[in-house]
Every structure is written in C-alpha cells, then in structure tokens.
C-alpha cells in the first residue's frame, strides 16, 4: 500500500504502521526520512481493511504528532489464461477472477508504445477494442476494488487476425458473377464462398488471387458471396459479405409482317 502524508515541522523521520482491522495478522511498518512525504508498506493481505497510522518523530524517536486513516488494500493480482483474436480490431482476454474485485482493467499496448489503452470490464472474459489488424499487443489485467487497482498481471503477447477482403461483385452475364478485391496485407490465402438466396447449398473455394468467377448460375437470382482471409499462422480473419443479382435472362421476340 502507498501512503502519503504532510511534513511536520521538527520531525526527523516518519513511521508508517499498518494494522489489520479484520484479522490478527501482525502489524507491518516502514520508516522514512525527514524529507519523505510518500512511502509504501509491503507484505499486506490483499483485499483487507487496515488502520494506517502515521507518526512524526524527532531524533530521539519521540512521537511529535500522529494521524490515522482506514484503507482497504487492493485485490489479488489476476492471471491471464488466454488471449485470442477473432476479429481484426479486437482481442478477447480470459483471466482468473479474484475475491473482492468489483471490476477489472485490461491494458493493451504495442512494443513501440505507439498505442496504449485501458478497458474496464466487469468479469472474465473481457474484450479490448479499436486495435489494428495483424498487430502484436502486450496485454495485462488488474483487479479493482475500493482500495484501488492491483499490480498488473504478468504480460501476455498476442496478435490480432488479418482484416477481411473488401469484395466487389458484378454480373457480366445472366449465369455468371465475378468477384474482386484489393490485396490484404499479411494474407496467406483467401476463402470465398457463394450461396443462392433461400438455398442451403454453398460453394466454397480457396485462392491466392484477388478475383474469382462463379459460372453456371441461375438468371435473375440473388447470390450472397462471403470472403475472409487467412494469416501465415493459419488463423481465419474477418469476413465480408456482398450480395449480387445475376442478370435477367434476355428473352427474344419475333417481328412478323404480313403482305396483302
């Protein structure tokens, strides 16, 4: 626990003592010099109420003045069990929940410190948002109670998945749909699937190209095409869906003339 106090005229040192209010644990204390106005007391029980006494003392260790306050220590430090990314802009963190915690704070940062954020969650798992695709993040979690935050957990490094290909579709003929997209960074391959509206049958293919053609379709029919990418670690990234209507079948007509 960190304690702050005001200077007392004539004091040569300060003694800070923490005594548990709810148990028979031995008191803990620390002593600080005349110029100190802040210090920490270690080896306290997490999530426990303490009576904190500050004493200003002279050179002979006589107490010149004292003050007391009651404070609760922070909860225990949680442990991250797993961090996974199912979407390129978020990371889901599973962690141990600790006794006495009222909430938790998830921290995410990049190695170069170009990104740093903290997200408060009520329980495990929690999700960190507004991340960048296929980027490494260092993650940690802290428990929160009335006494404040715990120390951060041991960090875990995890990477977000790749973004989805932004599909564009056209129907150049009444039985064909052509789908194209701009290349996505860090992609091993793309999976593109097509399904006719109202049907349960889906055609799926993998490709390293940035366009595919689906022939043999029904004229004037709505088809939905979904695309997603896979990163070099063979993790599936975001998906993106477009729907396209094939051209209607052109029906011929006869023009007859009668000569009288």
Query: What domains sit in the chain, N to C, each tagged with a CATH number?
Result: 2-72 (2.60.40.10), 80-159 (2.60.40.10), 168-245 (2.60.40.10)
Question: pLDDT value at position 251?
Answer: 64
- CA separation for the pair 74, 135 (Å, rounded): 32
What's the residue count for the chain?
A: 260
80 CA to centre of own chain: 12
Question: pLDDT value at position 200?
Answer: 87
| The CA-based dihedral angle spanning residues 152, 154, 155, 158, taken in that order and rounded to the nearest 10 degrees | -130
Q: What is the greatest pairwise CA distance in the chain?
A: 137
Question: pLDDT value at position 201?
Answer: 86
Question: pLDDT value at position 260?
Answer: 43
- CA separation for the pair 28, 46 (Å, rounded): 14
* Contact (Cβ atoms closer than 8 angstroms) between residue 64 and residue 45: no
Q: Which string of DSSP letters, residue by residue, matches 93-137?
A: EEE---TT-SEEEEEEE-TTSS-EEEEEESSSSEEE-SPPTT-EE
Question: pLDDT value at position 222?
Answer: 96
Strand partners for 76: none
Question: pLDDT value at position 255?
Answer: 52
Strand partners for 131: none
- CA separation for the pair 159, 252 (Å, rounded): 57
- CA separation for the pair 59, 168 (Å, rounded): 81
* Averaged pLDDT in 10-residue chunks for the chain of 260 residues: 93 95 87 94 91 95 95 94 96 96 97 96 97 98 94 97 97 95 97 94 95 95 97 96 90 52
């Amino acid at each position: 626990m960190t304690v702050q106090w005001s200077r007392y005229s004539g004091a040569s040192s300060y003694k800070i003592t923490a005594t548990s209010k709810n148990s028979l644990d031995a008191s803990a204390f620390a002593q600080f010099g005349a110029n100190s106005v802040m210090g920490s007391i270690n080896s306290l029980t997490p999530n426990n109420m303490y009576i904190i006494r500050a004493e200003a003392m002279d050179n002979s260790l006589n107490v010149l003045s004292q003050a007391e306050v009651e404070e609760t220590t922070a909860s225990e430090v949680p442990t991250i069990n797993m961090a996974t990314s199912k979407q390129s802009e978020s990371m889901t963190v599973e962690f141990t929940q600790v006794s006495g915690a009222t909430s938790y704070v998830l921290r995410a940062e990049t190695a170069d410190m170009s990104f740093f954020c903290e997200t408060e969650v009520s329980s495990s798992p929690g999700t960190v948002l507004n991340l960048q695709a296929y980027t490494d993040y260092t993650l940690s979690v802290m428990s929160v109670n009335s006494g404040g935050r715990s120390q951060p957990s041991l960090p875990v490094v995890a990477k977000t998945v790749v973004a989805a290909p932004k599909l564009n579709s056209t129907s150049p003929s009444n039985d064909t749909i052509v789908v194209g997209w701009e290349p996505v960074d860090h992609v091993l391959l793309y999976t593109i699937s097509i399904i006719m509206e109202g049907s349960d049958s889906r055609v799926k293919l993998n490709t390293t190209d940035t366009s595919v053609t689906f022939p043999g379709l029904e004229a004037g029919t709505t088809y939905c095409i979904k695309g997603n990418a896979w990163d070099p670690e063979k993790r599936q990234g975001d998906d993106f869906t477009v729907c396209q209507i094939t051209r209607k079948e052109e029906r011929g007509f006869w023009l007859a003339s009668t000569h009288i």
